[in-house]
């Protein structure tokens, strides 16, 4: 996913605010799902939600106002209820900005773990 850095993404020094990378990674996962025909809005309406159970991020160098970032979302593991993603963020010069990992758990409306729907598993697995 390409992400242009706007002023509101930065701190007073023009550097991307560190927590915004978590938002960028979530946006990249959502884009990846939609490219594979998995739409969160539909899943939520059916009582299937996803929560982030674990998140890691290692910052390598800063990104700045005006940069164009490439944010990747690679599915590396899938279990009955969990999805594990690895992320990389690079700037327009291919410089590594940060790397991250996220573990998502499939839950129901009461936030209790539930199995990934078969159609979601198939779409994400077939195109991973």
59 CB burial (10 A radius; 0-12, 13-18, 19+): middle
Nearest Cα neighbor of 83 from 92, 93, 73 is: 73
Residues 126, 110 contacting (CB under 8 angstroms): no
Q: Which residues are designated catalytic?
A: 11
Q: Which two tokens stand for residue 111?
A: 């936030």
- Strands 49-59 and 82-90, how do they pair? unpaired
**Three-state SS for 77?**
strand
Nearest Cα neighbor of 4 from 70, 57, 60, 98 is: 70
């Amino acid at each position: 996913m390409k992400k242009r850095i706007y002023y509101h993404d930065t701190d007073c020094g023009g550097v991307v605010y560190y927590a915004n990378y978590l938002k960028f990674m979530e946006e990249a996962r959502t884009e990846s799902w939609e490219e594979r025909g998995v739409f969160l809005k539909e899943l939520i309406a059916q009582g299937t939600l996803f929560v982030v159970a674990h998140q890691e991020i290692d910052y390598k160098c800063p990104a700045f106002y005006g940069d164009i970032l490439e944010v990747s979302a690679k599915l590396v593991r899938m279990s009955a209820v969990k999805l594990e993603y690895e992320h990389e963020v690079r700037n327009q010069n291919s410089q590594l900005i940060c790397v991250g990992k996220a573990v998502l758990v499939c839950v129901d409306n009461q936030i209790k773990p539930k199995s990934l729907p078969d159609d979601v598993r198939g779409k994400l697995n077939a195109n991973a």
